[in-house]
Structure 1
């Protein structure tokens, strides 16, 4: 089945409308949707899904509930956190080979204990101390670009993935990852997403959780590539400690629970995998999308360049500059609105509850889908347009339950401030010198598997700024 895609307007229009999949007027049959979802979860939604508030539908044996307005999102993820804290079976089984019982996929007692250990490690209060390492790493990337001939073609998605993998390694794990290790991590995550199942039919048919899910050799190989790097980082901690180098991995190794017991080796590696995945993959995708959007939006580029020239000049930025880079932040926030890195947030009800007056049975799947809510025309003017200015207008800031690129409620991403700071500094430092141009003839389309990417790569031409 061929699915039409919406093409962007020309870059000369006032408001650039970036690409998004075709929206159905009427929802297709379930089996058609399942086939489409296996390839791209963003392609299954109808016009009504974007405009809805609270919808439900039974798919095989599962009740599926869609929350698409701030009031019901608050009920689902804040008020009813206890009943809806468990991630969906699809997400848990898709990530279990890589993350084990890590914070991202665990729940109840395991989640509560690990959150106490992990959250302080990347808490917003620690970000100012991480900023100098971020800046040093970004400047190294800028120098690497400066050493390339004018017009060199680069894969912006891979470039940003290498950058953020290096940042997360240096700031969180206290070591220089190096080009070879970064390559292993980046390719490992890409391959893992490409091969992992996007639909968990076993759970949709109500079959037991313990039934094994088939995992092909490609998944095992990509998982091993990532975990081997993490094992090296963990094993090297003893040498780092002797050299006086502090790191988060050291915090995990030395952490104790309320009973005074250390985390197991598996738990440490699982949490390291969560931090690495959340700390590099999502920010890399955001930056790649930002470069694409800017390449198609001349007016936005002019405003961005004016800000970074004025605020940064030729000096090395610091954490204090982030607060003054208001338009740069708006570009990142608007990118996150249009292309949220995790565009589907799904939970499984571990007990019956109520949302918006609707009874939610145990076992139901409750979904908050940023991809839909961030483009809901009831909540946003020009919902499909790239318009960073909407985030500059303080009087019109979005409701925090209507803008959820980092989730919301008790399970909100612990690294929110880390990721935002990293993205703002990366965009500002690189945009001060470069104005990347999309390679002519490139068709960029959003694809969602575990995260939302601009396809498998993003070919762009490095152009040095002349103004």
Structure 2
């Protein structure tokens, strides 16, 4: 990979560098970093953090090890999975009120058993069967937009969240959410992220794990919004079954463990919450960021639309069309590189281990940070530039352990293919008919709390493309 690579030289770029937080030349004091992290996790990183390979620092009683090259990422998340499968205390305690012991935050025996049950529900082999439902749902959003006057203002973040919430509900839970329930879920997740603690001081100070964390009334209200919808979905399964309707989540509801026992209702709801969170929140953020990036990159938008027009024309796509949309895929992949939905992957060492020759003591926190590695100038040319063409040339990518928007190793997101297919189909079907333009005067800045969003809202104007 080189700036003088002949392939790179021949690619036309808009050279759009989208926003990112200030990068410190000198690491601030610990208390300053904690204050920054409470507002936005992305604002704590310095120039050296992007360029390094394996770095460590101590914050009070905790050692933090940062892995920022493919070789050490592979050791951390693949070779040392047994010692480093537990999520960080911050992530576990932030999500435990909502997800309980769900797959995303569990580890050990619980994680292994649940993974066996949950992974098949959204496995890549099932995605072709989901595609028609995805397409129908996206077509409804397309019709909704077509009914709006040209130039109408929309919140692209909320629009994509409603779309992906509806898709996950229809494909996995076998029922239509409808606008009211979708709105409850979307608002619930937004409020939850807004009010959850971003820094777990109890863990940082090395205090006992069992000490309670404060949960305010706003957080409890947001949690209730989401879980009330999930309860109704679970309750409706039996009626669906009696009416002869199939539901993928039925596999979880009717699953039995090695002793033939069904999952408890609490466990079922926890896993349903994981599927809903991972299945709509991350994809919604990716699509919102893609619309923003395209609005600032006319050359990329033109090439994307040319591919869609040529491949699809005016017909409705199917799953088989995804393979014929390489540039659309590249736009999504580049969006995930610049704005990975979960930009910090943190694990707690449950036993002594080693990474890159460095001893890792029990209790240390090991961080793989896609936000940093995806912008590491050693791994990527023009790392801060939006340039989807890089994903059309394998020589310009650092390999699977250098690009980890869905994590990597045994804990890789089981819904990877679901999310990619949903994103490509959504972008292709909607960009075929519409341009989204950023509302003048809007300042878009990446904000990471639990996931990486373009702020609270993303105001854009909707414009129909001429046939």
Q: Does TM, scored on the shorter chain, surpass 0.5?
A: yes
1:196 is aligned to: 196
Q: How much has 1:242 moved relative to structure 2?
A: 1.2
The CA RMSD measured in Å over matched residues stands at 0.9
Partner SS state of residue 58, structure 2: strand
Q: 1:418 and 1:133 mapped to 2: Cα distance?
A: 12
Structure 2 residue runs of 5 or longer lacking an equivalent are 1-11
- The gaps in structure 1 that reach 5 residues or longer are 1-11
Equivalent residues in 2 for 1:14-93 (5 A)?
A: 14-93=14-93
Deviation at 1:395, TM superposition (A): 3.3
2:289 is aligned to 289
Deviation at 1:396, TM superposition (A): 2.9
| SS of residue matched to 1:66 | strand
Q: What corresponds to 2:424 in structure 1?
A: 424
Match of 2:458 in 1: 458
Aligned partner of residue 367 in structure 2, secondary structure? strand
> d(CA) in 1 for partners of 2:386 and 2:101?
38
Counterpart of 1:355 in structure 2 is: 355
The 5 Å alignment of 1:33-432 reads 33-432=33-432
Aligned-partner Cα distance in 1 for 2:184–2:457: 16
Give, in whole Å, the separation in 2 of the partners of 1:45 and 1:238: 49
Using structure 2 for the length normalisation, give the TM-score: 0.97
Contact 2:164 2:284 in 1 (8 A): yes
State the shift of 1:13 in Å.
7.8
Q: State the distance in 1 between where 2:20 and 2:394 align.
A: 28
Q: Deviation at 1:216? A: 0.2
TM-score (norm 1): 0.97
| Corresponding position of 1:442 | 442
Distance 2:207 2:343 in 1: 26
Deviations 1:39-82 (A, max 9, x none): 00001100000000000001000000000000000000000000
- Asked if the contact 2:66–2:366 (Cα under 8 Å) also holds between the matched residues in 1, the reply is yes
**Whole-angstrom CA distance in 1 between matches of 2:13 and 2:312:** 29
Q: Aligned to 2:42, what secondary structure does the other structure show?
A: helix
Question: Is contact 2:14–2:298 with CA below 8 Å preserved after alignment?
Answer: no
1:152-198 alpha-carbon deviations (Å, 9 max, x no partner):
00000000000000000000000000000000000000000000000
Distance 1:74 1:332 in 2: 24
Return the alpha-carbon distance in structure 2 between the equivalents of residues 246 and 255 of structure 1.
15
Matches of 1:335 and 1:381 in 2, distance apart? 15
Partners of 2:206 and 2:139 lie apart in 1 by 51
Match of 1:139, SS state, is helix
| Separation in structure 2 between the aligned mates of residue 324 and residue 230 of structure 1, nearest angstrom | 36
Indicate the SS of the match to 2:434. coil
* Cross-structure match for 1:6: none
Give the Cα separation in 1 of the matches to 2:327 and 2:70: 25
Whole-angstrom distance in 1 between the partners of 2:419 and 2:408: 15
Distance 2:295 2:199 in 1: 34
SS at match of 1:214: coil
CA-to-aligned-CA distance 1:401-438 (integer Å, 9 cap, x gap): 00000000000000000000000000000000001100
3-state SS, counterpart of residue 323 of structure 1: helix
Greater mean alpha carbon deviation, residues 130-139 or residues 259-268: 259-268
Q: Distance in 1 between matches of 2:397 and 2:358?
A: 29
Counterpart Cα distance in 1 of 2:112 and 2:232: 28
Rounded Cα–Cα distance in structure 1 between residues aligned with 2:319 and 2:341: 24
Secondary structure in 2 aligned to 1:386?
coil
Which whole-Å deviations, capped at 9, do the CAs of 1:329-371 have from their partners, x for residues lacking one? 0000000000000000000000010000000000000000000
1:425 & 1:249 partners in 2: Cα distance? 23
Q: Find the aligned partners of 1:13 and 1:373 in 2 and give their Cα distance.
A: 22
Give the equivalent residue in structure 2 for 1:3. Answer: none
Local SS of the residue matching 1:435: strand
> Within 2, Cα distance between the matches of 1:223 and 1:13?
43
| Paired residue secondary structure (2:324) | coil
Cα distance, 1:248 vs structure 2: 2.2
List structure 1 runs of 4+ shifted beyond 2 angstroms: 394-398
- Give me the whole-angstrom Cα distance separating, in 2, the residues matched to 1:302 and 1:244: 46
> How many angstroms apart in 1 are the aligned matches of 2:465 and 2:345?
39
In the alignment, the residues of structure 1 paired with residue 105 and residue 264 of structure 2 have an alpha-carbon distance, to the nearest angstrom, of 17
The residue aligned with 1:9 is none
